[in-house]
């Protein structure tokens, strides 16, 4: 896939999102604000309540910050529906998987989506942070129509999107996804290799894990490490606060996937990180990680 195409119009108007966590609702919000018909599949009754609330709260913050008008907020909300039945994604032209970073869960979901989505030209995309796309594509009967569309958190705010074509992805599918991300969503796509961690996380995670090892060894506190990188290197967020934002459980999953692929010690999750996750300290989403959140 090349990023130099000037093709216009991806022909995608109906988008499905499988998963309703922070990333799933962020993707749904972005698509809705781009004028698309969005249907979000959730996986629990509780999520049928919490996901719409999360979406509405995010849009309301956009209004409060002057980035959206009230009518734009209302129009975006009206474009999004929620369902517990994956069969309701049957008419979608693009489905983006955004469930937790669990390979078996994603494989089962892609196998189901392959049987559910009726459009023979539909794109099945994954928002995985670390799992090679070709593994997920192999769970379907249309591996040429599977690719990675990897957004970053918070989805509505961060401009970059990694586009990851596997060795099986058809070129026309990659080009269509590129046009969709660039022209319809207004994001800045880059082509990333189909390997664990892709491009951004392959660079980012050795840094995050090194910061955790520094805290683990007692060389410095999380607060001091973060201050050093924020105030000494002009990073908008220190590495421990960033790991908390990503989610420490997700950080473990990504680190394990990269270590499994490359067997390099710099990718191995430190024992302190493993113990924190085992203890339920997952970062911002649980209220406590390397920092405490209220």
Identify the domain containing residue 277 by its residue range: 201-285
Segment 215-244, tens digit of pLDDT:
999 999 999 999 999 999 999 999 999 999
Asked whether 73 and 33 are in contact (CB, 8 A), the reply is no
Is 58 known to be catalytic? no
- The gap from C-alpha 84 to its chain's centroid, in whole angstroms, comes to 20
Residues 151 and 255 in one domain: no
Catalytic annotation, pick one of 29, 97, 101, 162 = 162
Residue 153 annotated in active site: no
In-domain check, residue 290: no
Choice among 20, 47, 58, 129 that is catalytic: 129
Residue 72 shares a structural domain with residue 172: yes
Same domain, 90 and 226: no
**78 found inside a domain:** yes
Domain count, the chain: 2
Catalytic one among 150, 175, 192, 253? 150
The answer to whether 61 touches 51, Cβ cutoff 8 Å, is no
150 has catalytic annotation: yes
Name 160's Cβ contacts closer than 8 Å, sequence gap at least 6: 152, 187, 188, 189, 190, 200
**pLDDT tens profile 64-111:** 999 999 999 999 999 999 999 999 999 999 999 999 999 999 999 999
Residues 47 and 161 in one domain: yes
- State phi, psi for 3 to the nearest 5 degrees: -100, 15
pLDDT digits (tens, 9 = 90+) for 131-171: 999 999 999 999 999 999 999 999 999 999 999 999 999 99
Distance CA 180, CA 12 (A): 7
By CB atoms closer than 10 A (0-12, 13-18, 19+), residue 82 is buried
* Among 132, 166, 191, residue at a domain's last position: 191
Which entry of 58, 165, 201, 253 is annotated as an active-site residue? 201
Tell me if 210 sits within 8 A of 266, measured CB to CB.
Answer: yes
Judgement on whether residues 187 and 211 belong to the same structural domain of the protein: no
**Whether 6 is catalytic:** no
Average pLDDT taken over every residue of the chain: 95
Q: Which two tokens stand for residue 97?
A: 């998987």
Same domain membership, residue 111 and residue 136 = yes
The residue out of 136, 162, 191 marking a domain boundary is 191
Which of 162, 191, 220 is the last residue before a domain boundary?
A: 191
Sequence-ordered alpha helix ranges (H) in the chain: 22-33, 45-64, 70-78, 103-116, 133-137, 171-179, 200-216, 222-232, 239-246, 248-262, 271-278
Give the phi and the psi of residue 80 in degrees, each rounded to 5. -115, 130
Residue 219 belongs to domain with CATH number: 1.10.1040.10
In a shared domain, residues 149 and 239: no
């Amino acid at each position: 896939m090349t990023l130099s195409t000037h093709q216009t119009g991806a022909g995608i108007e109906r988008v499905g999102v499988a998963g309703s966590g922070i990333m799933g609702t962020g993707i749904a919000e972005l698509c809705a604000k781009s004028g698309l018909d969005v249907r979000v599949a959730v996986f629990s009754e509780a999520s049928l309540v919490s996901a719409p609330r999360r979406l509405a709260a995010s849009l309301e913050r956009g209004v409060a910050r002057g980035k959206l008008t009230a009518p734009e907020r209302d129009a975006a909300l009206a474009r999004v529906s929620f369902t517990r039945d994956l069969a309701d994604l049957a008419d979608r032209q693009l489905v983006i998987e955004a469930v937790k970073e669990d390979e078996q869960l994603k494989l089962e979901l892609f196998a189901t989506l392959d049987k559910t989505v009726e459009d023979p030209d539909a794109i099945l995309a994954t928002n995985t942070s670390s799992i090679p796309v070709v593994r997920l594509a192999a769970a379907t009967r249309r591996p040429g129509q599977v690719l990675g569309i990897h957004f970053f958190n918070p989805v509505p705010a961060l401009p970059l999107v990694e586009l990851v074509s596997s060795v099986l992805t058809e070129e026309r599918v990659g080009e269509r996804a590129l046009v969709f991300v660039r022209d319809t969503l207004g994001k800045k796509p880059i082509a990333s290799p189909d390997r664990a961690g892709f491009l951004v996380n392959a660079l980012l995670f050795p840094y995050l894990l090194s910061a955790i090892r520094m805290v683990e060894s007692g060389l410095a506190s999380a607060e001091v490490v973060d201050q050093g990188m924020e105030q000494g290197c002009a990073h908008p967020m220190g590495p421990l606060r960033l790991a908390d934002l990503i989610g420490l459980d997700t950080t473990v999953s990504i680190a394990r996937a990269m270590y499994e692929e490359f067997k390099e010690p710099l990718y191995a999750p430190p024992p302190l990180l493993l113990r924190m996750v085992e203890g339920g300290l997952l970062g911002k989403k649980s209220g406590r990680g390397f920092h405490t959140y209220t």
